[in-house]
Amino acid sequence: MNRLRLTPIYGDDETVTHVIGIQFFTEANIDLGPVPASSVKESLKSSDRSHSSFSAFRPVVVGDRNVCRGVCGILQISDEVLSLKILSRLTPRDIASVGSVCRRLYELTKNEDLWRMVCQNAWGCETTRVLETVPGAKRLGWGRLARELTTLEAAAWRKLTVGGAVEPSRCNFSACAVGNRVVLFGGEGVNMQPMNDTFVLDLNSSHPEWQHVQVSSPPPGRWGHTLSCVNGSNLVVFGGCGRQGLLNDVFVLDLDAKPPTWREISGLAPPLPRSWHSSCTLDGTKLIVSGGCADSGVLLSDTFLLDLSMEKPVWREIPVAWTPPSRLGHTLSVYGGRKILMFGGLAKSGPLRFRSSDVFTMDLSEEEPCWRCVTGNGMPGAGNPGGIAPPPRLDHVAVNLPGGRILIFGGSVAGLHSASQLYLLDPTDEKPTWRILNVPGRPPRFAWGHSTCVVGGTRAIVLGGQTGEEWMLTELHELSLASSAI
């Protein structure tokens, strides 16, 4: 009927100084019937013997009598210590629960500085920094922002029309967010022409419009590549298919430099040339590349890491005893600091290839990282998350939400299922459970992973979502995860 979550609170010397418990109740209908008086007396005696050490009973003078009242020891701590050392270590959900305990805790949990610390401890410094740059975040407040990004109660679709043009027209480009700007690079033009130009859409502008950015030393044209953001305003391009075939080169662009200049990174021991792979960034400095399609259509299952903070970056393959089946068109998402989650793609199964809905995770903080199967068909140690799993798909969208949850939608979906349905998974749960998220507004009919990006941590921007192709780039769809005040 209920469960108790105990959270240890550590002091500066990493020793446990307090333990705070949050009680969770679920509704239950139980007919206890008549209770014998003797049972009541016995239960009262046993409860007196098992009082928590946090409680102290002391006489309090009321009129001419001494009344023994219980005083919770944790409430004898000063507001500053209670906020900085204890409450700030809890999750947003737990803080909301604590606020309903008593008037004093309710007042403490209304403090914006406390909520910011809670968000930073729960979501990480990088996520908090990104959220601070979102227009209107101060008006919304950290308390409400935490609630809406936790419950997703304010999530909604809307359609945007922007100015400018991306010419020549193209498909199979890659898009990425830098702050509140959407950056588009490369793509496949008419007659499979590989493109190498760069366009930027500033969503902070009162009238956003696509602008062609004049850059120096652009990379060779390509499609089927990945475009990622590292170190704030730096973009990194890897791989893809160019005029001469598949590529495995790396280029970096500082979008805020004057003038912006592409710079090739000659990383030693690079992965095989590939396209339609997946990539993500770790710690804001490391590029992770997984899978994809190599020469002759061979699917890959390897995972490589490149530390771009090094003076002379070196590619390092992550050695694992077992790898998920080779695949392309899958997604990689970072959660929980240094953990990555792989979902979907076109996976190899014997001599055949099938769309996949498998989920795999890896913890890169371990001395010997290994892939773990959260769910998969006949995979070693496979489980089946509860709820309704997304239909198998490739080239879909995976959105990282604060707290480690992953939102999946779009892509090339098996069968007659809708590509616009949203699915939510929390891999940090003891038993991860898929759930469907229904939000108001008109979703796009199509959404592709390479042409969708998350702006400011609160908005997923889908390019070319109406026709299935990316030719119409002046009409965007936005999935807002927080109120329009943002």
Q: Using DSSP, state whether 419 is helix, strand or coil.
A: coil
User: From CA 340, how far away is CA 318, in angstroms rounded?
Assistant: 13
Whether the upstream peptide bond of residue 259 has omega within 30° of 0, thus cis, is: yes
Q: What does DSSP assign to residue 86?
A: I
Domain 2-25+68-151 has CATH 3.30.420: no
Domain with CATH 1.20.1280 in the chain: 2-25+68-151
Alpha-carbon distances, residue 167 vs 213, 306, 426, 432, 470 (angstroms): 12, 33, 40, 44, 12
Question: What per-residue confidence (pLDDT) applies to 264?
Answer: 95
222 contact partners, CB below 8 Å, separation of at least 6: 186, 194, 195, 196, 237, 239, 240, 241, 242, 247
Alpha-carbon distances, residue 482 vs 89, 137, 314, 412, 425 (angstroms): 23, 10, 40, 27, 18
User: From CA 170, how far away is CA 149, in angstroms rounded?
Assistant: 34
For residue 87, the tally of other CB atoms under 10 A from its CB is: 24
Q: Which residue has the tokens 């403090």?
A: 111
pLDDT digits (tens, 9 = 90+) for 420-479: 899 999 998 888 889 999 999 989 988 999 999 999 888 999 997 655 555 678 889 999
Question: Checking DSSP bridges between strand 475-480 and strand 452-455, what pairing results, if any?
Answer: unpaired
pLDDT digits (tens, 9 = 90+) for 65-118: 544 455 566 778 888 888 888 898 998 989 988 888 888 889 999 999 999 999
Quick one: pLDDT band at residue 417, thresholds 50, 70, 90? confident
Cα angle at 343 between 342 and 348, to 5 degrees? 95
Higher pLDDT, 309 or 53: 309
Domain with CATH 2.120.10.80 in the chain: 156-480
- Phi, psi at 348, each rounded to 5°: -85, 135
CATH for 156-480 is 2.120.10.80
User: Structure tokens of 261?
Assistant: 């200049």
Higher pLDDT, 399 or 50: 399
User: From CA 251, how far away is CA 261, in angstroms rounded?
Assistant: 10
Q: Strand ranges (DSSP E) for 203-242?
A: 209-213, 226-230, 234-242
pTM (predicted TM-score) = 0.82
pLDDT digits (tens, 9 = 90+) for 335-365: 988 999 999 999 998 889 999 999 999 999 9
User: From CA 454, how far away is CA 220, in angstroms rounded?
Assistant: 26
User: Structure tokens of 39?
Assistant: 């049972």
For residue 69, the tally of other CB atoms under 10 A from its CB is: 10
Higher pLDDT, 245 or 376: 245
Q: Using DSSP, state whether 6 is helix, strand or coil.
A: strand
Question: What per-residue confidence (pLDDT) applies to 126?
Answer: 81
